[in-house]
Chain A
Amino acid sequence: MHEFYTPERLERLARRHRLVKRLLYLLAFAALAVCVVLTCQVNTHNIYDMLLACICISVGAAWIIIYFGVYVVRDGGRELAHAKNLADGPRETVTGTVTVLPLKVRIRNSVTLRKLRVETAKGPAEYSVQIDKVEELRRAGERLTLYTVHGYVVAWQRAEEEAGHADR
């Protein structure tokens, strides 16, 4: 079984989340400190150079903070929260042919999901999976056993692997 949210992975994610957050705070303070130092050295001769330097430093720092703030801190935090919500929920198992639907679902202040259709023996059913995990599912093949909590996929296994385990 391939778990999406193993404790090791979540711990790694949390550690990275904390580290990047601290680095971004550090960068913001460093940029501010440099700008303050430059501003204190202003005279009539260098005022425009200092103004340009302050704009470049602060805008550069802001862009780095925005990029990593959005794609590492925000998205990482949302993934952690999503995983935490699913950690203690009741697991269900479903086996069938999995098709990834083009529909992208954006939950406000949470992860972005992709809808899956699973053709089971009882008929079709729809589930959701975090968008980052879709590639992994695609590579796994079509016949899968999915482990879900509240309709969200948290783990997967190839159907034949599961059958092999059962035979043994």
Chain B
Amino acid sequence: MRIVKNIWAQLHRFVFWALVLSLLWSWIYTFVGDTTRDKKLILCVDAYALDQRPLALRLEDEGLPAGIKMIQVRSFGYDFLGTELEGDLYLMKASILEATLADTPGKLAPLTLPEGMAGYERDGKSWGILVFDPETQHGPAMNYIQYTPLPDPEPEAYYLCFDAAGPHYAGNDGALDDAAWEVAITFLEIDK
């Protein structure tokens, strides 16, 4: 009984320190769980639903490219593309890709696709790899990404695009490596 009374008398201290320590550790772990941009590859996904962490873990399990310590998967919308959004890869709908090329030229890098790989063509250049085909309604990582709302009368195609300023695509000026391409290929193979 005395212990309970003592604890009750010090409850404010217990609560205060629990809050302070929780915030402190959460703050510390935001740094511990991150790394510098040159060791991190960022995949931005604009889909109806996305399991960010499980998809990042799955991609890491498939093998990290040399020099890369972590893969981050982020959710984004079209509005973010005009901002300082720093991705290496963007998974987006065909309509968003068209709008991006029209509104923010220079945001996405032109690609050289291997023979037989379907992509988004415009002005004689490829700008994205076809990921989700609306005709077959099939794409990679469907356990992690919801490509279409249910039911959707007119599902859209999805393309995987590369940031023109990203440090991990060999086609960009000053690129450190070609990790974005390696991760893109890994992504295309997930559960396919």
Contact = CB atoms under 8 A, between A and B. Distances in A.
Interface string B33-60: 1000000000000000000000011001
B28 interface: yes
Interface in B56-113: 56-57, 60, 70-71
A62 B57 CA distance: 33
A88 B25 CA distance: 50
B176 interface: no
Contacts of B14: 63, 66
A59 B32 contact: no
A66 B11 CA distance: 10
A5 to B, nearest CB: 22
Size category, B interface: 20 to 34
A62 B14 CA distance: 8
Given A39-B32, A44-B70, A47-B33, A55 B21 contact: yes
A51 interface: yes
Interface string A34-53: 01000100101101001100
B35 to A, nearest CB: 10
A47 B32 CA distance: 9
B32 A44 contact: no
Contact of B26 (A45, A51, A62, A66): A51
A29 interface: no
Contact of B6 (A47, A54, A59, A71): A71
A70 B8 CA distance: 13
Contact of A67 (B7, B21, B22, B70): B7
Contacts of B21: 55, 58-59, 62
Interface in A50-82: 50-51, 54-55, 58-59, 62-63, 66-67, 70-71
Given A66-B10, A67-B10, A47 B29 contact: yes
A47 B31 CA distance: 11
A66 B7 CA distance: 10
B10 A59 contact: no
A61 B26 CA distance: 17
A67 B4 CA distance: 11
A54 B23 CA distance: 11
A103 to B, nearest CB: 19
Contacts of B71: 44
A55 B14 CA distance: 13
B57 A45 contact: yes
Interface in A106-150: none
Given A42-B29, A55-B26, A59-B22, 8 more contacts: A35-B25, A39-B32, A42-B32, A45-B57, A59-B17, A59-B18, A66-B17, A70-B6
Interface of A: 35, 39, 42, 44-45, 47, 50-51, 54-55, 58-59, 62-63, 66-67, 70-71
Q: Nearest 10 CB-CB pairs, A to B?
A: A62-B17, A58-B21, A47-B33, A51-B29, A59-B18, A54-B25, A66-B13, A55-B25, A59-B21, A55-B22
